[in-house]
Structure 1
Amino acid sequence: MTKQTQDFEAMLRNAMDAFPVKGDAFEAGFKRSAELNEKLTQIAVDAAGRSTELSSEWTKDTLARVTDLTRAKQDPADYAQSFADFGAKQAEATMERMTAFAEIAKATQMATIEALMEAGKSSTEAASKNATAAAKKTASTAKSAASNASAS
């Protein structure tokens, strides 16, 4: 006894034919999605670049301070002062850099929200336009059907 395998491709084709869909709606949706992804990617790449620059700058400053810290001193008290200066400068630099990172995050968040709101507005406008067109077509069809019914 042999088993018959189902033709899933034919089943899928029949199912898709049973639900006619306008391809241009999918194409427009895909384009909007691609544009949004492009904007969001640009926002992320920009934030990553700015963060990397900030981190690199911070590392260079820290290495310069370490160089100053490790220089030979004449008096043992100079070592204590050097460590205190290093700690104070690092604490100040940390506050400055954390503030700068927060500004990058804030700007990234705002740009992301703006991009999402713009995409939402665009989608809403497209949906409204499609709904208006469908309503006009339905009204026209109903009017035509009514006139055909009264003529009969």
Structure 2
Amino acid sequence: MTKNDDFAAMMKDMMGAFPMDTKAMDDAFKTTATLSEKLSSVALDAAKKSTELSANWTKDTLAKMADMSKAKAEPADYAKALSDFATAQAEIASANATTFAEIAKKVQADTVELLMAAGKDYSQDASAAVKKATGDVTATAKKATSAAK
């Protein structure tokens, strides 16, 4: 090897000796990009719903705190206001936890559905690529056999 060897030309020649069908790679890339888009959509939708739920929960809590913090006529009214606030917060927390769980369950179901569909797509892409490669190898072998005769 000399300092002036053109490695780009050598690599081009080497890769030219091993022809590849880039359509299979293009199809796999497109399938992966589509899957990523769909998974991102599921995640962003869940984040949006979770954020809205959290914001509403915060607004409700602040509103109830404003009611609780108002001056009362009797000392017992403070205890009642605190008790009412705690009861309301327990109910809201339970309802919101259930809603968060529903959001998570939907994300899980959508993700499994997308992955199953993607697995099917990848399988079809791989089968098509193997079938084409087998046909190409068979054709090349036949040409080599014919040329040898």
Q: TM-score range by the shorter chain?
A: 0.7 to 0.9
Aligned to 1:84: 83
**Structure 2: distance between partners of 1:14 and 1:140:** 22
Aligned to 1:34: 33
Give the secondary structure class of the aligned counterpart of 1:77: helix
Give the TM-score normalised by the residue count of structure 1: 0.82
TM-superposed CA distance for 1:138, in Å, is 4.7
Q: Which amino acid aligns with 1:16?
A: M
Change in Cα spacing, 1:16 to 1:113, as seen in structure 2 (3 Å) is same
**Structure 2: distance between partners of 1:125 and 1:18:** 28
- 1:72-93 CA-partner distances (Å, limit 9, x unpaired): 1111000001101111111111
Q: Which amino acid aligns with 1:20?
A: P
Q: Which amino acid aligns with 2:27?
A: A
User: 2:27·2:125 contact (CA, 8 Å) conserved in 1?
Assistant: no
Q: Which amino acid aligns with 1:117?
A: M
**Matching of residue 49 in structure 1 with residue 64 in structure 2:** no
Give the TM-score normalised by the residue count of structure 2: 0.83
User: 2:46·2:104 contact (CA, 8 Å) conserved in 1?
Assistant: yes
Change in Cα spacing, 1:20 to 1:58, as seen in structure 2 (3 Å) is same
Name the % identity: 47
Change in Cα spacing, 1:88 to 1:128, as seen in structure 2 (3 Å) is same
Q: Which amino acid aligns with 2:57?
A: W
**Structure 1: distance between partners of 2:19 and 2:126:** 18
Q: Which amino acid aligns with 1:34?
A: A
**Structure 2: distance between partners of 1:13 and 1:100:** 58
Change in Cα spacing, 1:15 to 1:136, as seen in structure 2 (3 Å) is closer
**Structure 2: distance between partners of 1:140 and 1:8:** 32
- 1:61-104 CA-partner distances (Å, limit 9, x unpaired): 10110011011111100000110111111111111111111111
**Structure 2: distance between partners of 1:45 and 1:99:** 20
TM-superposed CA distance for 1:15, in Å, is 4.5
Change in Cα spacing, 1:44 to 1:24, as seen in structure 2 (3 Å) is same
Taking only aligned residues, the RMSD between alpha carbons, in angstroms, comes to 2.6
**Structure 1: distance between partners of 2:68 and 2:83:** 10
Instruction: Give the length in aligned residue pairs.
Output: 147
Aligned to 2:24: 25
TM-superposed CA distance for 1:129, in Å, is 2.4
Change in Cα spacing, 1:86 to 1:19, as seen in structure 2 (3 Å) is same
